[in-house]
Structure 1
Amino acid sequence: MITICFAVYIGILFYLLFFSAYRKSVEGAVSYNFIPFQTIGQYFYSFDGLALTDQFIGNMLAFAPFGFLLPIIFVMTFTRVLGYSFLLSLSVELAQFFFRVGAFDVDDLILNVAGGGIGFLGYIVIKKSRLISS
Structure 2
Amino acid sequence: MLSQLRFKGKQLVLAICYLGFALYIAMAAILLFFSPYRQANRTNADGAVVTDVNLVPFQTISNYIKASGHINSSVWVTNLFGNVLAFMPLGFFLPLLFRRFMKFWPTVILVFVSTLAVECLQLFFHVGSFDIDDIILNTLGGAIGYLFYKAVANISSIVLKGKQ
What's the % identity of the aligned pairs?
39
Q: Give the corresponding residue for 2:62.
A: 41
Q: Give the corresponding residue for 1:31.
A: 52
Q: Does 1:126 align with 2:129?
A: no
Higher RCO, Cα 8 Å, sep 6+ = 1
More displaced, 48-57 or 111-120?
A: 48-57
Please give the TM-score of this superposition, normalised by the length of structure 2: 0.76
How far apart are the structure 1 equivalents of 2:76 and 2:148? Answer: 22
Q: Give the corresponding residue for 1:9.
A: 24
Instruction: Name which of 97, 113, 117 aligns with 2:139.
Output: 113
Structure 1 gaps of 5+ residues are none
How far apart are the structure 1 equivalents of 2:82 and 2:150? Answer: 22
Structure 2 gaps of 5+ residues are 1-15, 43-48
Kindly tell me: are residues 54 and 26 of structure 1, through their superposed partners in 2, closer, same or farther at Cα, counting changes over 3 Å?
farther
How far apart are the structure 2 equivalents of 1:61 and 1:91? Answer: 18
* Local SS of the residue matching 1:128: helix
How far apart are the structure 2 equivalents of 1:128 and 1:51? Answer: 36
Amino acid at match of 1:4: L
After superposition, give the CA deviation of every residue in 1:13-35 in whole Å (9 maximum; x if it has no partner).
Answer: 01000011221235543110110
Paired residue total: 133
Q: Does 1:55 align with 2:70?
A: no
Q: Give the corresponding residue for 2:46.
A: none
Please give the TM-score of this superposition, normalised by the length of structure 1: 0.92
- Any runs of at least 4 consecutive aligned residues in structure 1 with deviations exceeding 6 A, and if so which? none
